[in-house]
Amino acid sequence: MRSVFLCVLLRDLQLASRRRIDALLPLAFFLVALSLFPLGVGPEPKTLREIAPGIVWVCALLASMLSVGQLFAGDMADGSLEQMLLAPASAIAVAAAKCSAHWLLTGLPLIVATPLAGLVFNMSAPALQALVFSLVLGTPILSLLGGLGAALTLGLRSGGMLLILVVLPLATPALIFGAGAVGMVESGLSASGHFSLLGALLIVTTLGAPLATAAALRISTD
């Protein structure tokens, strides 16, 4: 399983390097969406600081969903997905590798770009640190849940809409706890409870999502 995981992960990263525009689209959406909110809401610093955590998390969620729909579709179309799933235990490794590649290509760049949100929304240094840490814990959850949704809707008509309907309710707790942690820091309170809940969600999702995604892929390719 380890060799399958590494092979699929490196393959996806190599393919993304050949399609750099597609790989950068979620990051571009994230930055453009963040820059538009101050124009619409107004330049009031207090208002921007209050809405910043929720705005950043919503933009991160939507940016993650932009590319997750194609996580398995291309391999399904050219038949390579079926070849990957030939080994009895390879489905879990394939699912984990695909989600890991999605996080490296989407979630990690969003985290790196998040300090720009601190400048746009006039956030304090402690609040910005809490926001970055919440995204470090939360963006892998979005990638894992996105992979599950992509596997469940693979090959279906209107799969993109169904994917959103499947993933958004599952990702809502991560969004609430992630934005809530920053709000607690802004209020001068401890955010350890929110971070603990985010960590628990990450552990549960890491253990359960690849198994469910592997089962969904088996069903979709049968």
Q: What is the DSSP string of 76-105?
A: HHHTHHHHHT-STTHHHHHHHHHHHHHIII
Do residues 132 and 114 touch, judged by C-beta distance below 8 A? yes
Q: What is the pLDDT of residue 43?
A: 74
Q: Contact at 8 Å (CB) between 216 and 152?
A: yes
Q: Give the model's pLDDT for residue 158.
A: 67
DSSP state of 170: H
Per-residue model confidence (pLDDT) at position 89: 65
* Residue numbers in the chain where pLDDT is lower than 50: none
Query: C-alpha angle 8/9/13, rounded to 5°?
Result: 115
154 by DSSP, 3-state: which? coil
Task: Confirm if 111 and 84 have CB atoms less than 8 A apart.
Answer: no
| pLDDT of res. 132 | 93
Residue 32: which residues within 8 A CB-CB, separation 6 or more?
Answer: none
The predicted structure's pLDDT at residue 72: 83
Residue 182, CA distances (Å) to 36, 138, 192 in order: 21, 13, 11
For the entire predicted model, the pTM comes to 0.90
Torsion of CA 145, 150, 156, 158, to 10 degrees: 80
